Amino acid sequence: MSDFELPDTRYALSGDVSIAYQTMGDGPVDIIIVPGIVSHVEFVHEFPGYTALLRRLSSFARVVTFDKRGQGLSDRISGAPSLEQRVDDVRAIMEDIGSRRAVLLGFSEGAPMSAFFAAANPERVSQLILFGGFAKSFATDEMIARRVKVWGAGEMINGFWPSQATNREAVKQVAKFERLSASPGAIKAFMALNMMIDVTSILPTVRVPTLVLHRQTDALVPVAAGRALAAQIPDAKYIEYPGGDHAPWAGDVEALVGDIKEFVTGDRESSAFDLERVLATVLFTDIVDSTRSAAAMGDQQWGRLLESHDQMAKQFVDKHRGNLVKSTGDGILATFDGPGRAVRCALAFQTATSQIGLPLRAGLHAGEIELRGRDVGGIAVHAAARVMAQCGPSEVLVSRVVTDLVAGAGIKFTERGSHELKGLPGRWDLFSASL
């Protein structure tokens, strides 16, 4: 690497957490590499082939690498970050480098995170590339315990870089990489959270051009996971490579870079139609017994309470970065690009309105919606309304999709059974949310 100066590490502020990142190249398109569970933006350059891979990519793009919060050179945090927080970190980096739209290249655990970001923010993602990825974690408690027990000794090389597993120097490198990336306690928390990841339900809503890449005998993430990932994303292109290394800079890098370059530089702009359908979390609220309350209070007093209700609705939706679509007379319809913020908004809004004598019920569902000017439509909107209809007084009820997407966000859910929702197929598992 004597003929090449390594990039400087900089920091983007995501909320109050500093996210370490590096950029290479100045091409016309941005490629943001979303790492797996282990990362360190500086030390990873010590692995043979890594810097060369980035140099190849930076010949036609500006390449961004980063450490997720709690790992590598990014700020340490208590516990493990939720999927939604990790997505916010990517957004923060894009804002810091002035990137309006980028290619997301999700590696391993970064694949479901990248798919979630692309589904919820198609206007910010030109293309999606997923390498060695999965939709649903296949880890177990036993796997986590075994990994934590030997953390920092380089055992990860057997799945991560098996072609070098008998190379003592490579094992030492991987051992140091583990220790610099995270402590045993931190990696245990990250793995426990990752075990709950399941973005299967949102994959059909990904509308950006997608390329899925996997190695045929990947020793860490089975090739079946990559095939399933590609099969569930509309029109995704799938390519398999020989070999068992999980690390993207190992193996046949020439073919890998060639396929990525062809996919990125040959892309056409997404059509306006594509951008009219996005993933969102839909919130419906309704004032409990509003008709009876209005009759008891009289028009004047009821009107003042409704005005207070509407002001609170705008305040809480704005605070949680949502979009207040409309008032429904005695409730609201709002959408959010993050399910955790949507649930927290519903809980906070419900608490505030109950204090002025307006108990609410709220229903949430995450899915694809259709943008119709200022209004929204689609099955996800109907589903959220039907979920709300199952609520008891002063309850926030969510679908299973929402619980799957907010794993690790600190929100508690209580099972409310399986229900038939009017006009929707099958039975739906519902959960009551609380903090």
Confidence band, pLDDT 50/70/90 cuts, at residue 5: low
Whether the predicted pLDDT of 275 surpasses 70: no
Q: Are residues 247 and 310 in the same domain?
A: no
The per-residue pLDDT for 271 is 42
User: Once rounded to an integer, what is the mean pLDDT over residues 237-256?
Assistant: 91
Q: Are residues 185 and 53 in the same domain?
A: yes
Report yes or no on 5 lying in a domain: no
Report yes or no on 138 lying in a domain: yes
Confidence band, pLDDT 50/70/90 cuts, at residue 122: very high
Q: Are residues 341 and 255 in the same domain?
A: no
User: Once rounded to an integer, what is the mean pLDDT over residues 381-407?
Assistant: 93
Confidence band, pLDDT 50/70/90 cuts, at residue 3: very low
User: Once rounded to an integer, what is the mean pLDDT over residues 210-217?
Assistant: 97
CATH of the domain at 404: 3.30.70.1230
User: Once rounded to an integer, what is the mean pLDDT over residues 22-44?
Assistant: 94
Write the pLDDT tens digit of every residue in 154-166: 999 999 999 999 9
Report yes or no on 385 lying in a domain: yes
Number of folded domains that form the chain: 2
Expressed in percent and rounded to 5, the helix, strand and coil fractions of the chain are: 40, 25, 35
Confidence band, pLDDT 50/70/90 cuts, at residue 270: very low
Report yes or no on 284 lying in a domain: yes
Q: Are residues 353 and 219 in the same domain?
A: no
112: amino acid identity, one letter: P
CATH of the domain at 110: 3.40.50.1820
Report yes or no on 3 lying in a domain: no
- SS3 of 329, please? coil
Residue 26 burial (CB < 10 Å; 0-12/13-18/19+)? exposed
Final residue of a domain: which of 230, 246, 270? 270
Q: Are residues 235 and 283 in the same domain?
A: no
Q: Are residues 229 and 107 in the same domain?
A: yes
Report yes or no on 2 lying in a domain: no
Q: Are residues 192 and 287 in the same domain?
A: no
Whether the predicted pLDDT of 288 surpasses 90: no
The per-residue pLDDT for 2 is 35
The per-residue pLDDT for 294 is 65
* Closest listed residue to residue 366, CA positions, set 35, 15, 119: 119
Q: Are residues 46 and 176 in the same domain?
A: yes
Domain that includes residue 50, residue range: 10-270
* Closest listed residue to residue 363, CA positions, set 343, 336, 344, 338: 343
Q: Facing residues of 215 across strands?
A: 241
Q: How far apart are CA 336 and CA 324, in angstroms?
A: 9
Q: Are residues 109 and 164 in the same domain?
A: yes
Cβ–Cβ under 8 Å, residues 252 and 216? no
Kindly report the average pLDDT of the chain as a whole number. Answer: 90
Confidence band, pLDDT 50/70/90 cuts, at residue 350: very high
Q: Are residues 123 and 188 in the same domain?
A: yes
More confident residue, 196 or 292: 196
What are the structure tokens assigned to 123, written together?
């206007």
398: amino acid identity, one letter: V
Q: Are residues 85 and 105 in the same domain?
A: yes
Confidence band, pLDDT 50/70/90 cuts, at residue 298: confident
Report yes or no on 223 lying in a domain: yes
User: Once rounded to an integer, what is the mean pLDDT over residues 125-146?
Assistant: 92
User: Once rounded to an integer, what is the mean pLDDT over residues 131-144?
Assistant: 90
Report yes or no on 288 lying in a domain: yes
Whether the predicted pLDDT of 297 surpasses 80: no
Final residue of a domain: which of 240, 270, 300? 270
Q: Are residues 391 and 425 in the same domain?
A: yes
Final residue of a domain: which of 246, 270, 294? 270
